[in-house]
Structure 1
């Protein structure tokens, strides 16, 4: 997955990239949970790794924005940006919950 360069994107494009990759990660996390229920443990780990890749990209973009603000560049806070951050944070939470739930489910099966 290629890294996004903020200087090449408009603020709107940055937001849409964050939403896109957070959404991809969310889909992978939910797919991992479904695959676990179907017993396909090998693909579960693959889906979670794909989710991590997408979230890593969003995290890098988000971190660049934080660095810019720390350097004195005030960001324009739009509803679209808040929506993008919400997608990112809720997907991070969902991923962590699923990663904690799967071992619990495995213990209950044994």
Structure 2
């Protein structure tokens, strides 16, 4: 096995690490949104914190690769890496939206509870 194929294998592993961590984050975000639907806002926030850790791990792998290229490492185009970046970007957007939804529904729930007390 030559160095070039080893690098490609390493690059594929990094891509899969990004995809798997981002995918795990997506599942955890879904669990968090299920908590929101049940008005379990603290549990939802915990899920989003857990998901953020997965996103951070995926982002670190991506950043390491991009910084390597910036240092002059030759990195050939990889459809798998492009897919990994796209997946990560999408999940980051989902996390941001879910984070806003938790705050929004928690506020609405609080207002509704106050109205019901009257």
What is the TM-score with the length of structure 2 in the denominator? 0.80
More helix by share: 2
- Give structure 1 regions of 4+ aligned residues with deviation exceeding 6 angstroms: none
Give secondary structure in 2 for the equivalent of 1:21: helix
Superposed displacement of residue 104, structure 1 = 1.6
Q: Which runs of 5+ in 2 are unaligned?
A: 1-6, 112-118
8 Å Cα contact 2:14-2:62 kept in structure 1: no
Residue matched to 1:84:
84
State the distance in 2 between where 1:75 and 1:105 align. Answer: 44
Superposed displacement of residue 71, structure 1 = 0.4
State the distance in 2 between where 1:107 and 1:40 align. Answer: 13
Q: Which runs of 5+ in 1 are unaligned?
A: 1-6
RMSD (CA atoms): 1.5
Matches within 5 A, 1:1-110: 10-109=10-109, 110=111
State the distance in 1 between where 2:105 and 2:39 align. Answer: 11
State the distance in 2 between where 1:44 and 1:19 align. Answer: 23
Count of paired positions = 103
State the distance in 1 between where 2:77 and 2:30 align. Answer: 30
Superposed displacement of residue 63, structure 1 = 1.1
Give secondary structure in 1 for the equivalent of 2:43: helix
Residue matched to 1:4:
none
State the distance in 2 between where 1:75 and 1:10 align. Answer: 11
Question: After superposition, what is the alpha-carbon deviation per residue over 1:63-82, rounded to whole angstroms, capped at 9, x for unaligned?
Answer: 11111011001212211111
